[in-house]
Amino acid sequence: MELYNGRPDDIRDRLPREIRTYDCLDALGILYQRTDHVPAMTMEDCYAIDAVLGIVICKNLFLCNRQKTKYYLLLMPGEKKFRTKELSAQINSARLSFADADDMKKYLDIEPGAVSVMGLMNDREGAVQLLIDEDVLKEEWFGCHPCVNTSSLKLKTKDVVEKFLPAAGHDYITVHLTGED
């Protein structure tokens, strides 16, 4: 794996959702570095990618309530354990579970293994509420996928929060997760 500045020169074999991500970041003047790799399906797969990027990619969880009337994208440090009970209490939503692949595609135009904050640019109706663990916001750098799990990006957390999210029409709720029972 190599580290590149910006978008790939050759986009012929890239999916439209990945190209839209680069188009969005470039239009907003957000600088980013990129590495291309085999599909990364788990946090374990991300460790080698983290080493190339020089950061730790955060965990991205796409969640919903039991009735499937509310959807959430949770960004949290990769090493923290997710405890449903801990998050449910903070957002007043009981019975949180992982949303299914069809809803992921419908709202974020992303498939399992590629969940990313970048998918919020595809959520024009604002159906997904972004939740960010406070520890993610403390980091200077942010790592995520460009809506595909065969590339990863490194960009400034400040740019994600102050430039990307407003352009995508999303705000966020800061949550405090300990990962403890």
Q: Considering the chain, what is the average pLDDT of its residues? A: 92
Q: What fold characterizes domain 4-175?
A: YbaK protein (3.90.960)
- Does the structure show a pLDDT above 80 at 181? no
Q: What's CA 175's distance to the chain center, in Å?
A: 16
**Residue with tokens 């957002």, as numbered in its chain:** 91
Residue 43: predicted pLDDT? 64
- pLDDT higher at 64 or 95: 64
Sequence-distant (≥ 6) Cβ neighbours of residue 144 within 8 angstroms? 57, 58, 60, 116, 117, 118, 152, 153, 155
- Does the structure show a pLDDT above 90 at 92? no
Tokens of 176: 């405090």
pLDDT tens-digit readout, 143-163: 999 999 899 999 999 999 999
pLDDT tens-digit readout, 72-87: 999 999 888 888 888 9
pLDDT tens-digit readout, 15-55: 999 999 999 999 999 999 999 998 876 667 778 888 899 99
